Amino acid sequence: MKNFKILIVEDEPSISEAVEAYAKRAGYDTLTAFDGQEALKLWQEQQPDLIVLDVMLPKLSGVDVCKIIRAESSQVPIIMLTAKSSEADIVNGLDSGANDYVAKPFSMRVLMARIRAQLRQGDSSLSSGENNLNNNIIKCAGGRIEVDKARIEIRKDGVPVQVTKSEFLVFAALASQPIKTWSRDGIIQAALGDDYDGFDRTVDTYIKNLRRKLADPEHKNGWINTVHGFGYRLED
């Protein structure tokens, strides 16, 4: 069984040490960084399987670190730690590319559960995993968009689109049944799995990001239609 490596980025020693202790007790290998620049250096050198990332950091904020990582990699799961729990702050973190967030003060058991869920989601084979798709490549949007499960990649007009893992799974679920209208709960179940315990409204953020990344002058909604009062449907 693979030994997962977790990068913990937190400038408060008491929190960093507690997260590290719980992670090691759960059987994970750990790396620690205390500022944003050090976090990027360790990410580039060590290629961790997951990052626990505080928002408020010296030298470079967690949001900036997340954006830089997402500009180069769509795969590594990022769980943000934030002392701010307003909806705007949460959306800002998710918009920067984070997969999940945990607001301070938090339970270590909850954080460990979130870590397990993200690692389980990433370690599963997408051909038999959360989205239950049967083909390695799904074409949609009149053939202009391809969902490539083998590469974990979305391509528009043959060009890869930079998306996070969660965004990929959400779009892959929509593309698996393009005529279906999906509720938020349905998307969560199909794409993110039973272990996901975030807010259902988080799906709205993933959809907003996908629309922005896939949009063109003729399809400003990125081929993702809102079905008012119910959810979303992929336009084919």
CATH code, domain carrying 97: 3.40.50.2300
Residue 220 lies in a domain: yes
Residue 98 is predicted with a pLDDT of 87
Among 98, 123, 148, the domain boundary falls at 123
Q: Is residue 129 part of a domain?
A: no
Domain check: are 24 and 116 in the same one? yes
Inside any domain, residue 41? yes
Residues spanned by the domain of 69: 5-123
pLDDT in tens, the chain (236 residues): 468 999 999 999 999 999 999 999 999 999 999 999 999 999 999 989 999 999 999 999 999 999 899 887 667 899 999 876 666 767 777 878 888 888 888 889 989 988 988 887 655 534 334 444 445 888 888 889 999 887 889 999 999 999 888 899 999 999 988 778 888 888 888 887 766 666 667 888 899 999 999 998 889 999 999 988 888 999 86
Boundary of a domain, candidates 123, 151, 182: 123
How many structural domains is the chain composed of?
Answer: 2
Report d(CA 49, CA 73) in Å as an integer: 12
Residue 132 belongs to a domain: no
First to last CA, the chain: 41
pLDDT for the residue 131? 42
* End residue of a domain, out of 123, 154, 170: 123
| Token pair for 230 | 């119910």
Task: Report the CATH number that the domain containing residue 143 is assigned in CATH.
Answer: 1.10.10.10
Within a domain: residue 128? no
Taken in order 187, 191, 197, 199, is the CA torsion positive or negative? negative
Give the up-direction half-sphere exposure of residue 114: CA atoms within 13 A in the CB hemisphere.
Answer: 25
- Half-sphere exposure for 35 (CA within 13 Å, toward CB): 5
Question: Is residue 58 located within the same domain as residue 106?
Answer: yes
Peptide bond into 105 cis (omega under 30): yes
Do 118 and 141 reside in the same domain of the chain?
A: no
Same domain, yes or no: 72 and 142 = no
